[in-house]
Chain A
Amino acid sequence: MKKAELMDYDKALELFEPVLGFEVHVELNTKTKMFCGCANEFGQGANTNTCPTCLGLPGGLPQVNAKAIESSIRLGLALGCEIAEYSRFARKNYFYPDTAKNFQTSQYDEPIAFNGQLTIELESGRLVTVDIERAHMEDDAGKLTHVGGATGRIQGADYSLVDYNRGGVPLVEIVTQMIEGGEADSPEIGRTYVAAIREIVKGLGVSNARMEEGNVRCDANVSLRPRGSNILGTRTETKNVNSLRSVERAVRYEIQRQAALLAAGGTITQETRHWHEDTGITSAGRPKSDADDYRYFPEPDLVPVAPSREWVEELRATLPEPPAARRKRLQANWGFANLEFQDVVNSDLLDAVEATIAAGSAAQAARKWWTGEVARLANVAGVAADSLVHPVQVAALIELVVAGTLTDRLARQVLEGVIAGEGTPLEVVELRGLAVVSDDGALIAAIDEALAAQPDVLAKIRDGKVQAAGAVIGAVMKAMRGQADAARVRELVLERAGTAE
């Protein structure tokens, strides 16, 4: 693949104004698909969840999933959209093996939700309001695997394999208006906007919202307008941008690539581009011309969706606190510094920390354990931290540390036991015999033994060389297999050194 010329980012912004647009696809977590009763779940083997409807076989008749409509309306409301009084489905016709129907059931001129707004806050504190053009419902495509060829990519593949388990899964596609005035913040606006959408759908509970599993997918549109001009540049649409960091990188890359091309007298081709996570570049996909001729027409097998105003208001009443407002409230309640709070948010641990605090832990302790040891173990295991251990268990662990039953070091061992399924923290303490030895008698016996074994150290301590006590403390901690409070041991060592013999 030919490497594109890139212009220095600052230079690109001097010459051009970036104009952005985003299409975010949200996979709903309904139990069944959008138009049939096949299970909406993956990972049980290919093509296990298909039927005549989602395979587009003769005789298949789509039926709308009530829950998917409900989720779409709630999502529309959370984005500040108006909900259509009358909405319908349309066929988007195209030939590609990711659908066996030869069309995608989508919405065209009458989407379920439109005219919304979402205000996001950048790290600098700058507020950006993104206008939402529409949020429409559609069904997802199947999954293709390209076989053969050098790269496993579609180009040069010998053939492709298709799994239609995902085909027909409900999606909501959220389309923004053009975002102007982003300037140097444009890449961050992309990342923050997608993060905000993700947070909203998670808060609503309408999607599992895991980007790494494709529950939230972003297409980023970027064009450049020469400074002083009011004519929009040609845009490219970068697909397959499936992590927050990638959104930021892809927008930045396209700004630099397009600027270099335009400055050299070239023109931008209106096209779909593919983002490559590994190399951090985009490459040209199919040209838009032919592929965009979708010949939409109203879906004849489905009747219109006309949500009553009463139902819409009922659903509005179910909306949770908006994520941005919730974050502000929680940070104030917990008294976290910005960096501490960002750490929790970026690690996706807001819910876990909140639940731990609700279970009785101090805010700082909850933050420390989740973003520290739990996150570390989750990272090693390659899973999400909040899937590793229940907040109630973390709260119980913290309680044992506060009570002095466990040191931090012992608590880390207990945490491993809890994660390994050995029981509650208290049960692990008993099972592994991990409690701190707080019986001074046992400690004093060990200290006296250690002092007797190291008479030179004892002499030094008596001469006032208190730092020499370290050797004795170490020996005692070793004898206690680490299950002693080092500060208490130190106190006792000095005390015994003064009074021994």
Chain B
Amino acid sequence: MSEITAEQVAHLANLARIDLSPEEINRLTTELGQIVDSVAKVAEVATPDVPATSHPMPLTNVFRPDTVVPSLTVEQALSGAPDHDGDKFRVPAILDEE
């Protein structure tokens, strides 16, 4: 059985900046546990002669030339932001006073 705990889910939620209710944490603890169990099944069929893979495509070295292409305009870049000040994005205070 999975070893996912409610504390781990709460910690992950905090790192991912997702606000979860206790009920949601309970539900996700069960669901994530099931997912981990399912993934563990893959490990059972993976033998030492099967290399670990990070990508399903049998491709490497996909590069682009170092050539400048037009960027967005400043207006376009800022258009999706909640707030801006002149040509800069504006974000709320990051840290409280020490």
Interface of A toward B, CB cutoff 8 Å:
1, 30-32, 36-39, 45-52, 55, 57, 63-69, 86, 88, 93, 95-97, 100, 144-147, 149, 154-164, 290, 293, 295, 298, 300, 302-307
Interface string of B68-86 (1 = CB under 8 A from A): 1101101001101000011
Chain A's closest residue to B74 (CB) is A47
| A162 touching B88, Cβ below 8 Å | yes
| A38 touching B71, Cβ below 8 Å | yes
| B60 touching A66, Cβ below 8 Å | no
What is the total number of residues of chain B having a CB less than 8 Å from a CB of chain A?
Answer: 39
| B98 touching A155, Cβ below 8 Å | yes
Q: Pick out which of these stretches binds chain A: B22-30, B41-49, B89-97.
A: B89-97
Chain B's closest residue to A142 (CB) is B89
Q: Contacts A37-B68, A65-B66, A155-B98: A305 and B90 contacting too (C-beta < 8 A)?
A: no
Chain A CB count within 10 A is highest, among B60, B88, B91, for B88
| A95 touching B17, Cβ below 8 Å | yes
Chain A's closest residue to B57 (CB) is A303
B51 to chain A minimum Cβ distance, whole angstroms, is: 9
Chain B's closest residue to A50 (CB) is B77
Q: Contacts A50-B72, A57-B80, A93-B15: A160 and B91 contacting too (C-beta < 8 A)?
A: yes
Chain B's closest residue to A41 (CB) is B68
Which of B67, B86, B97 sits near A31, CB closer than 8 Å? B67
Q: Contacts A47-B88, A51-B71, A95-B17: A65 and B63 contacting too (C-beta < 8 A)?
A: yes
Which of A45, A64, A147 sits near B64, CB closer than 8 Å? A64
| B97 touching A156, Cβ below 8 Å | yes
Q: Which residues of the other chain, A, contact B86 by a CB distance below 8 angstroms?
A: 46
Tell me, yes or no, whether B87 is within 8 Å of chain A by CB.
yes
Chain A's closest residue to B76 (CB) is A50
| A51 touching B72, Cβ below 8 Å | yes
| A38 touching B68, Cβ below 8 Å | yes
Q: Which residues of the other chain, B, contact A97 by a CB distance below 8 angstroms?
A: 89, 91, 94
Chain A's closest residue to B64 (CB) is A63
Q: Which residues of the other chain, A, contact B88 by a CB distance below 8 angstroms?
A: 46-47, 145, 161-163
Interface of B toward A, CB cutoff 8 Å:
11-12, 15-17, 54-55, 57, 59-69, 71-72, 74, 77-78, 80, 85-98
| A39 touching B59, Cβ below 8 Å | no
B29 to chain A minimum Cβ distance, whole angstroms, is: 18
Which of B61, B68, B87, B90 sits near A45, CB closer than 8 Å? B87
Chain B's closest residue to A58 (CB) is B80
Can you list 9 residue pairs at the A/B interface with Cβ under 8 Å? A47-B87, A50-B77, A156-B96, A156-B97, A158-B93, A161-B85, A162-B91, A290-B15, A293-B11
Bound Cα distance from A155 to B95, whole angstroms: 6
Bound Cα distance from A306 to B72, whole angstroms: 32
B86 to chain A minimum Cβ distance, whole angstroms, is: 8
Which of B12, B59, B61, B67 sits near A32, CB closer than 8 Å? B67
Chain B's closest residue to A307 (CB) is B61
A213 to chain B minimum Cβ distance, whole angstroms, is: 19
Chain A's closest residue to B12 (CB) is A295
Chain A's closest residue to B73 (CB) is A48
Which of B55, B64, B67, B94 sits near A300, CB closer than 8 Å? B55
Q: Which residues of the other chain, B, contact A93 by a CB distance below 8 angstroms?
A: 15-16
Which of A68, A300, A302 sits near B66, CB closer than 8 Å? A68
Chain B CB count within 10 A is highest, among A65, A144, A303, for A303
Bound Cα distance from A164 to B62, whole angstroms: 25
| A67 touching B66, Cβ below 8 Å | yes
| A37 touching B91, Cβ below 8 Å | no
B97 to chain A minimum Cβ distance, whole angstroms, is: 4
| B68 touching A157, Cβ below 8 Å | no
Q: Which residues of the other chain, B, contact A64 by a CB distance below 8 angstroms?
A: 62-64
| B93 touching A157, Cβ below 8 Å | yes
Q: Which residues of the other chain, A, contact B65 by a CB distance below 8 angstroms?
A: 66-67
Chain A CB count within 10 A is highest, among B67, B68, B86, B92, for B68
